[in-house]
Amino acid sequence: MQNQMFEKEKFIQEIKDNVKNLYRKTLEEASQQEVYQAVSQAVKEVIIDQWLATQKTMEKEDPKMVYYMSMEFLMGRALGNNLINLTAYKEVKEALEEIGFDLNVIEDEEPDPALGNGGLGRLAACFMESLSTLGYPAYGCGIRYRYGLFRQKIENGFQVEVPDNWLKDGYPFEMRRPEHTFQVKFGGYVRSEGDPSGKTRFIHEGYQTVRAVPYDMPVVGYNNNMVNALIAWDAEPEEYFELDAFDKGDYKKAVEQENLAKNLVEVLYPNDNHIQGKELRLKQQYFFVSASVQRAVARYKKYHTDLHKLPDKVAIQLNDTHPTVAVAELMRILLDEENMEWDEAWTITTRTCAYTNHTIMSEALEKWPIEIFSRLLPRVYQIIEEINRRFILDIEKKFPGDYNKVKKMAIIFDGQVKMAHLAIAAGCSVNGVARLHTEILKNQELHEFYQMFPEKFNNKTNGITQRRFLYHGNPLLAEWVNKYIGNDWVTNLSHLEKLAVYADDEKAQQEFMNIKYQNKLRLAEYIRKHNGIEINPRSIFDVQVKRLHEYKRQLLNILHVMYLYNKIKEHPEMEFYPRTFIFGAKAAAGYRIAKLTIKLINSVADVINNDASIGGKIKVVFIEDYKVSIAEQIFAASDVSEQISTASKEASGTGNMKFMLNGAVTLGTMDGANVEIVEEVGEENAFIFGMSSQEVIDHEQKRDYDPMQIFNNDQDIRQVLMQLINGMYSRNDPELFRPLYNSLLNTQDTQYADTYFILKDFRSYAEVQSRVEKAYRDEKGWAKMAMLNTAHSGKFTSDRTIQQYVDDIWHLDKIKVETPK
């Protein structure tokens, strides 16, 4: 072991000591879970030294820092990635081998902290990792949900949600920090009174309180001693004896506060790109935002006296509108607690806050009924009213006489508080997450705001961290890359470009495809173990893994599988390259059509996988409980990356980038970041199909699309659709899939039929799929294409994205942390 931090003998001894102290056991008696805990504690000790060193450096240098506020952080497992970033993975693996343990097996003992739904939460995790790796001081601010995203079980083909009790064995990579506790107030009423200077003061009374207690999780940078913190807020009830004198002896109130605290952080809402408008959700938002803003201000005041200069030291980034109440909370603190005038407070707030938009789906736009908002947060609501009043004056100044603009842009309108409008009015920056998405924001969804504040709008194309999605997830490919071009790519992904010169080299091609094959074996073994399905590792692995949503069009994919199956049955002699269609997706618990799509995929799998007459040409696999840890293995094993959203609907996508990095070829629409992926890799190295976003938007505006016409004129499509309702895939209940059929053809359930243009894009999809097959038969051609995808993926590192946020929005100071002694 050359690594100074992990001297082998000492490290082994520490594991033994930890097992003894934690469990009163010897190593031989310890379970794998107990060994995981012991190893993690030992790793945490090293991290804490660096964490302390980071703190010291920050105190000394007083850099500007960002508070990245997000309802979701989908961190994934920590142990493996911490070891990689401490550059100790290999050493620790060897040390464990010496005492008879396999690091991979130990890693599997860690639950995935699933404190997020999908793309938005995983992006926050990648950003935190890049911030640490680049040496930028940052706090992630979020909620320590007792239950993360549900675990998915598939029973009889249906999704069943099981609670995710991720804390049950204790989570070793967190630290309770009660010294940073803050009070958060809900409900009550506001009273105003004039103070001696003649100023009106607003006094909040009759509220309930909870205590926000932070748990810090370390975010380790790659090989630079830097450790930032993710602050995950837990809620605890106010101690009975700490109740206001006024409330002493109020037993009912004490019980209410206890329940409030318990419910607040109980569970993550399992919707992706969809808002339910539940009161508890607004409570969650204000809870973690208030605590985080209070902490930011308190930290600033520890080192500085003049709050007017807050924006020189603090940036607050709002990860979508979910934490937008932060702007009103900051105003409240500056006005009520710091006694500032409105204009001073407003200048500080608008210079500090910035907003990222992640979707144009209308059902994801956050609006809160005034009734709920004003009852729950009376003082904050008052402040938003005043922001709104002033903003409307500005709108009228900008667009004189145009009342329509006020209607469209007001923050409070029609009995609702519109969080996106608040975020845009009160922030210095509005960004989309891919070039196309930002253009759509500017030209369509937020056009009026763009007219009013063109200088605020900017694009930040998403990225992913290569430390997790190549180095950790695909160690064979990482080694191979090192062999050819060295390991600079770990912190500078554009170096992958140097692989391009090997794209025609037959030896390199063979090695590359052999690694892909090894990874396919690894995944096939996982699928055999978890699904009981044998798949052919020589087949094309054609993969769609992401949240289940109609706009992502998993339905298009499975309808196409049904179509292929029909073709093979009709023409058994036809040439067909064996294909394994792999799906993984969770559906929001209340999303009926999404859940039924999961059932359809499983039913189609059942029929096709058990039809011996097709000789295993097609296999369909639904991977249960898709999550970050299995995702890493899936990307590594994929040949084809399905990115088939209705153009204009997927803001960016980030899975698309993870596939590309691992040498899978994109089969997709010109949507989100696919556009930029194609730009980087070249059209000849991707498979693009379907309508453009402009065509989709035009049809939506003209309302001239009629799927029935396609149904009537295309026999193959009609055949597939009829199979949804003739019992072919639901023998005992032929009506089971009727709602899917209806969603494509009838206007009964939805306002329009086939809202996502599945039938419209079907032929073009089938055509490009057959080109994929042809291309795969050309072994060298495919190897070249796959390798070029890896080679040209450099742009999509989150290191690049974060650098752009720093340059254009946050203006942070980099720090350098010396190695702790």
Q: Give contact residues for ligand NBX (rule: CB under 6 A).
A: 117-120, 123, 271-273, 275, 358-359, 364, 433, 462, 650-654, 672
Q: Catalytic site residue 546?
A: yes
CA 479 distance to own-chain centroid: 28
- Six token digits for residue 621: 């696999």
In the complex, the smallest distance separating the C-beta of residue 673 from ligand NBX, rounded to whole angstroms, is 7
The Cα-based distances of 662 to 239, 271, 791 in angstroms read 52, 28, 10
Contact 115, 145 (CB under 8 A): yes
Q: Which residue has its beta carbon closest to ligand NBX?
A: 119
Q: Which residues pair with 179 in a beta bridge?
A: none
- Six token digits for residue 17: 């000591």
**Which is nearer to ligand NBX, 235 or 282 (by Cβ)?**
282
Q: Catalytic site residue 20?
A: no
In the complex, the smallest distance separating the C-beta of residue 231 from ligand NBX, rounded to whole angstroms, is 20
- Nearest alpha carbon to residue 644 among 684, 672, 679: 672
**Which is nearer to ligand NBX, 146 or 552 (by Cβ)?**
552
**Which is nearer to ligand NBX, 473 or 653 (by Cβ)?**
653
In the complex, the smallest distance separating the C-beta of residue 676 from ligand NBX, rounded to whole angstroms, is 12
Spatial distance between the Cα atoms of 815 and 813, rounded to a whole number of angstroms = 6
If one counts every other C-beta atom within 10 angstroms of the C-beta of residue 772, the result is: 18
Q: Which amino acid, 566? A: N
In the complex, the smallest distance separating the C-beta of residue 294 from ligand NBX, rounded to whole angstroms, is 24
**Which is nearer to ligand NBX, 440 or 618 (by Cβ)?**
440
Name the catalytic one among 253, 468, 546, 795: 546
- Nearest alpha carbon to residue 622 among 600, 645, 650, 653: 600
- Nearest alpha carbon to residue 566 among 618, 603, 610, 602: 618
**Which is nearer to ligand NBX, 80 or 690 (by Cβ)?**
690
Name the catalytic one among 552, 595, 619, 795: 552
Name the catalytic one among 122, 146, 253, 358: 358
Q: Catalytic site residue 405?
A: no
The Cα-based distances of 302 to 54, 496, 674, 739 in angstroms read 17, 44, 46, 59
Residue for token digits 């795969």? 776
In the complex, the smallest distance separating the C-beta of residue 634 from ligand NBX, rounded to whole angstroms, is 17
Name the catalytic one among 654, 666, 790, 797: 654
In the complex, the smallest distance separating the C-beta of residue 284 from ligand NBX, rounded to whole angstroms, is 11
Q: Catalytic site residue 347?
A: no
**Which is nearer to ligand NBX, 125 or 508 (by Cβ)?**
125
Q: Catalytic site residue 654?
A: yes
Pairing of strands 579-584, 540-545: parallel
| H helix intervals, 453-587 | 466, 475-485, 506-531, 554-570
In the complex, the smallest distance separating the C-beta of residue 115 from ligand NBX, rounded to whole angstroms, is 12
Output the CA torsion sign for 713, 601, 576, 566.
Answer: negative
Spatial distance between the Cα atoms of 627 and 121, rounded to a whole number of angstroms = 12
Name the catalytic one among 281, 472, 617, 658: 658
Q: Which amino acid, 3? A: N
Spatial distance between the Cα atoms of 373 and 385, rounded to a whole number of angstroms = 11
Spatial distance between the Cα atoms of 710 and 700, rounded to a whole number of angstroms = 17
First-to-last CA distance in the chain?
18
Residue for token digits 């742009």? 795
In the complex, the smallest distance separating the C-beta of residue 416 from ligand NBX, rounded to whole angstroms, is 16
- Six token digits for residue 637: 């094993």
Residue for token digits 């055949």? 719
**Which is nearer to ligand NBX, 364 or 598 (by Cβ)?**
364
**Which is nearer to ligand NBX, 378 or 653 (by Cβ)?**
653
The residues carrying an active-site annotation are 358, 546-547, 552, 654, 658
